[in-house]
Each structure stands twice: as C-alpha cells, then as structure tokens.
Amino acid sequence: MDFEQNNNLSEPAASEPSESISDLGQTRPKIETAKRRIGWKIFWGIVLALSVMANITLLIMLIVLIVFFAAGRRDGLAEEVLRDGPWRSKIAVITVEGVIHDEQSDNVFRQLKYARGDRWVKGLIVRINSPGGTISDSDQIYNEIRKYRQEEGIPVVAFMQGVAASGGYYVSVACEKIIAEPTTITGSIGVMFGHFVFQQLLEEKLGIQPVVITSGPKKDWPSSFQPITEEQRQYIQDKLIGPAYNRFMEVVADGRPGLSLDDVKLLSDGSIYAAQEARDIKLIDEIGYLDEAIEQVKSLAGLDKARVVEYCKPFSWAGFLSSRSRNILSIDRDKLYELSTPQVLYLWSAY
C-alpha cells in the first residue's frame, strides 16, 4: 500500500504540453507586430494623402494667383498718399517723367482719366521732370491738360523738378501756374532735328549699295543713305522745323499771360535757364518745392486742408513680363525704323 502511494508520488505531476505554451507565447508578438504594421501603414497613408492634397491645393492657388495678376487690369492705377488730409478734398499729382514719347503720353492720359473719375479731386499738380521729346506727344500731353482744365474747372499747377526743358516746358505752360525747384533747368524753347547717315558705313565698310526708288525727287528727303544737301536743309527748315517752332512760341505766349509773342521770340533761341532767371523773365511764377505747389493749389481751389495723392501703377506680372519682353526684343523692325528715320523733337539735346 505504501509502495503504491510512493510510486504514485514519484510520478511527475500532469502539466500542459510544452508545445502549447510555446505556441501561445509566439502568437501574441506576431499579432501585436502585425497590428503595429497595419497602424503605421494607415498613418503614413493618411500623411501621404494629406501631402498630396496640400500640394494640389498650393498648385491651384498658384495658378489662380498667376491668372489674377496676369489677367488683371494693366491700365489700373493706385493712389499713394503723399500728404494726409480729408478724403473729400483731394489734390491729385500726375507725373511726366523722362523723355516724352507715345508711352509717356498714354500714361498721362490714364492718370488724367483716373482723376476725372474721382469727384473728390479739387485740384491737380502736374509734376514734370523731363527734357522733352517728340513734338506730337508733347503737344498731346499739353492738349490733354488744357482739356482737363476746361472740362473740370479746377486749378492745375505745374511743379518742375530737375529738368523741365523744351517739351517739358511745353507741357508746363498748359497749367495755370508754374512752380520750379531752385535747382530746376528749364527753357530750351525751340526745335531739334536729327538723323543718321549710313552711306559711308554701308558702301565703304560693308560694301553695301542701297537702292531707293521714289516717285519724286523730294520723297526721301532727307535720306539716311546720302549726305544732306543745302537744298534739303532749307526744305526741312521750311516744312518741319519752322512750323513746329512757331507752334511752340504761340503755345508759350498763350500760356504765359505776362509774355507777348514778341517777348517769347526773344527767349526762343534754345537757351536754357535756371529757376531764378526763369522767374525773372516770367517763364515761371514761383520758386519752391512740392509743399509750395500744394499751397498754391489749395489757395486757388479755396481749400483749408486737402489730402494729396499720387497716381502710380501697381505691380503686375503682365506688366513685368511685357516690359521684359520689350527689353529682350528691343531691336526689331520698329526700332530700326526709328533709328533710320529723321526726328523732329522738342528736346534739350544735352540731356
């Protein structure tokens, strides 16, 4: 009996198979690892989807901005406040700067059009810093300023800075009063004509013989392919320079009440004048700066206070790209035509 009990005690106790314990311990890490991998896949999938969506959104925004700037108004202008004041009483400053040509006259026309559309503009200052330019564009700007004065019935004052000579002065006399900075150079009332003669370069240097066939002997006077003769010189004097010169003197006499046509003729030998001398001979009214021009307009308009604004062209990709393309393609047929065609100018040539 005891032997049986001892024998039973000596047998090992029943336990779970080792294989089952091992399998259970290995299965749990595998499940957890698989879950982690699925979680990371979901996480990175969400991140990738968000990244793609963000990039698409940025691309759409970029396209919209490019379209907005490129298709925006190229002729639109913005107001820059130079002197603060009541917005119901504005003095607008328009600018004539650099050599006067067709682009400059178009720019002035846009500024005047913008001022016309603002009923709170009570006076105008034409800021001029120009040596002049073509006779037609100088006259167009002059005419637009005169028309503005007549139609709007508000005071217009010219403010000269730096250089306001020849065509620059021509534009100034369209205004009611003229104020110049102390260092301004003005005057140069007269006409200049010039062109290039390429005959020697073409024939002797390049061996090129120009052939020009005309319907009459004066059709190509003066020609860039032959030296000018005395007869041609007199012809240009009578047909171009004389009429433009007379027009200039008449415009000055009409715009400067203190000067008669005979007085203007004495001053119209092309001479330039500093501001002090110009005031003494009545080509200008006062010497001063922008603040003096503002006070003059306020006095003429009967204003105590005024907001002074200047019109400027806001940045646009369309304007930037078009200006870049003009610079890149500057030597084209039109440019070659300008270089080879004689020019009659209201221009101070020393500029």
**In sequence order, what are the beta bridge partners of 93?**
125, 310
How many DSSP H helices and E strands does the chain contain? Answer: 13, 12
- The DSSP result for 92-115, as a single string, is EEEEEESSB-HHHHHHHHHHHHHH
Give me the catalytic one of 105, 130, 138, 166.
Answer: 166
Contacts of 130 (CB under 8 A, 6+ apart): 96, 97, 98, 99, 100, 104, 163, 164, 165, 167, 168, 171
Residue given tokens 């061996």 in the structure block: 207
Nearest-angstrom CA–CA distance, 350 and 102? 21
Is there a catalytic annotation at residue 51? Answer: no
Give me the catalytic one of 147, 219, 239, 335.
Answer: 219
Is there a catalytic annotation at residue 340? Answer: no
**In sequence order, what are the beta bridge partners of 90?**
121, 307
Report the Cα 251 to chain-centroid distance in Å.
Answer: 29
Active site residues: 166, 219
